[in-house]
Amino acid sequence: MKLFSLGATLSFMNKRRRLKDFSDISHTFTKRHSGVSLAPYSERNLAFHVGDDESHVLQNHAALACEMGYERERLVHMNQIHSADVYVLKEGDSFDTKPTCDALVTNIPQTPLMVMVADCSPTLFFDPVQKVIAVAHAGRAGAFKNIIAKTIEIMACEYGSKAQDIVVSIGPSIGECCYEVGEEIAKEADGLGLGYAITIREGRCHLDVNAILLRQLLACEIKKESIEVQNICTCCNTQDYFSYRGEGETGRFAGVIYLR
């Protein structure tokens, strides 16, 4: 009988887990390319509320649905309001029944969840044991209100998810390099115990939202090896991603996940 060494066992136990490792879900973080929207929303804007031509937005959604292999009408997106409100999908929810919230949770197969952003952190969750997915719109407001913990709590309460099973991916978002905030925001962060996410450069305050989200995930007992953070600054990379801070009037890209 072949015996495994303790080192090999620990290496296996600490193996990094990524959403791409699971065949029972599909997910993506979109880019701004390969769409039909015109400037300043060029090209693949997925948001209706930014002033883009609605027919162009619908064409962009149809193209994404075709690429990812889902029915566009089954996708659920949100009227995002920078809250910590979490919505649990019901049978019959669809593209046209847009809930007002900033996180979505479901265990319904073939029902994609979408979070739209243009600097905020699009966050995707998957529990491969209970077969539950979630998305969260985690910008500064969501981070300060700890939408991460509330999303995980709903996954646990509604579906029995355990934190140690959940895999999380945080997509492209504005980096600390570009996210300058005023002293009032810096003081608010400090008052919430989030002062570690503030740095001072040349007398100006900069906020690292992803540093907050990472600590919140770990505080919820999500395993470090199950967290992926794409450290791509949207403001530095407007050639690939929409950035409200970098561009002003612009479109929205998205994080999408669904159970196959």
- Select the CATH number that applies to the domain covering 17-173+226-259 from these four: 2.40.160.40, 3.50.50.60, 3.40.1190.20, 3.60.140.10: 3.60.140.10
Give the full edge-to-edge strand order of the sheet including 253-259. 25-29, 253-259, 113-117
Which residues of the chain have a pLDDT value below 70? 1-14
**pLDDT one-digit tens code per residue, 190-205:** 999 999 999 999 999 9
Domain ranges of the chain: 17-173+226-259
pLDDT value at residue 14:
62
Instruction: Tell me how far apart the alpha carbons of residues 258 and 179 are, in angstroms, rounded to a whole number.
Output: 31
Q: How many CA atoms lie within 13 A of 127 on its CB side?
A: 25
Query: The tokens of 240 are what?
Result: 């690939």
pLDDT value at residue 3:
40
How many H helices and E strands in the chain?
7, 12
φ, ψ dihedrals at 211, nearest 5° = -65, -35
Helix (H, G, I), strand (E, B) or coil at 57: helix
pLDDT value at residue 134:
98
pLDDT value at residue 128:
98
Instruction: Tell me how far apart the alpha carbons of residues 215 and 83 are, in angstroms, rounded to a whole number.
Output: 19
pTM of the model: 0.93
pLDDT value at residue 15:
84
Question: Which residues are CB-neighbours of 160 under 8 A, at least 6 positions away?
Answer: 130
Which has the closest alpha carbon to 254: 96, 87, 104, 91? 104
Query: The tokens of 131 are what?
Result: 């077969």
